[in-house]
Amino acid sequence: MRRDGRPGAFLDALRARRTPVGAALLDQSLIAGVGNVFRAEALFACGIHPERPASALSEDEARCLWDTVTRMLRDGVRRNRIATVPAAERDRREPEGRGKDRFVYHRAGLPCRRCGTAVVEKPLAGRRLFFCPSCQT
């Protein structure tokens, strides 16, 4: 989020890891501030399966993660809340607390907002992970 953040250092360090990208993003020495919500939502936004090895990411995919995470962090601070789904795309009938403001986080079993496939939940790096098995490859 800092203006002097070094995307090049992040890109190199991320792509040097053999761990799943979903685990690597939680490592605060790699990129600070990414927690479970931002991890799930950024990976979804970039179309990256969280279990892919970070070393298998292309430069464009790693850059997408940097750009997406930094944008989401800034938006979260500005809004004082985490909302990754634009207001126009939110389903007003959906109950609060079921990921109404998010694409995949806390939406296990609910349809993906893009393709309709059920969002999956499973453990990764000691945390609950949410992703769309169709949109994230």
Contacts of 10 (CB under 8 A, 6+ apart): 30, 31, 62, 66
Show the domain range for 38.
Answer: 7-131
Contacts of 99 (CB under 8 A, 6+ apart): 105, 106, 107, 110, 130
Amino acid at 36: N
The per-residue pLDDT string of the chain (137 residues; one tens digit each, 9 = 90 and over) reads 556 667 888 899 999 999 999 999 999 888 887 889 889 999 999 999 999 999 999 999 999 999 999 888 888 777 776 666 655 555 555 555 556 688 899 999 999 989 999 999 999 989 999 999 999 99
Would 136 be classed as within a structural domain? Answer: no
Would 97 be classed as within a structural domain? Answer: yes
CB of 101 closer than 8 Å to CB of 83: yes
CATH of the domain at 15: 1.10.8.50
What is the predicted pLDDT for the residue at 35? 85
What is the tally of structural domains in the chain? 1
What is the predicted pLDDT for the residue at 85? 63
Amino acid at 21: V
Strands (E), 1-137: 120-124, 127-131
What is the predicted pLDDT for the residue at 88? 57
Amino acid at 24: A
Would 2 be classed as within a structural domain? Answer: no
Would 15 be classed as within a structural domain? Answer: yes
Would 1 be classed as within a structural domain? Answer: no
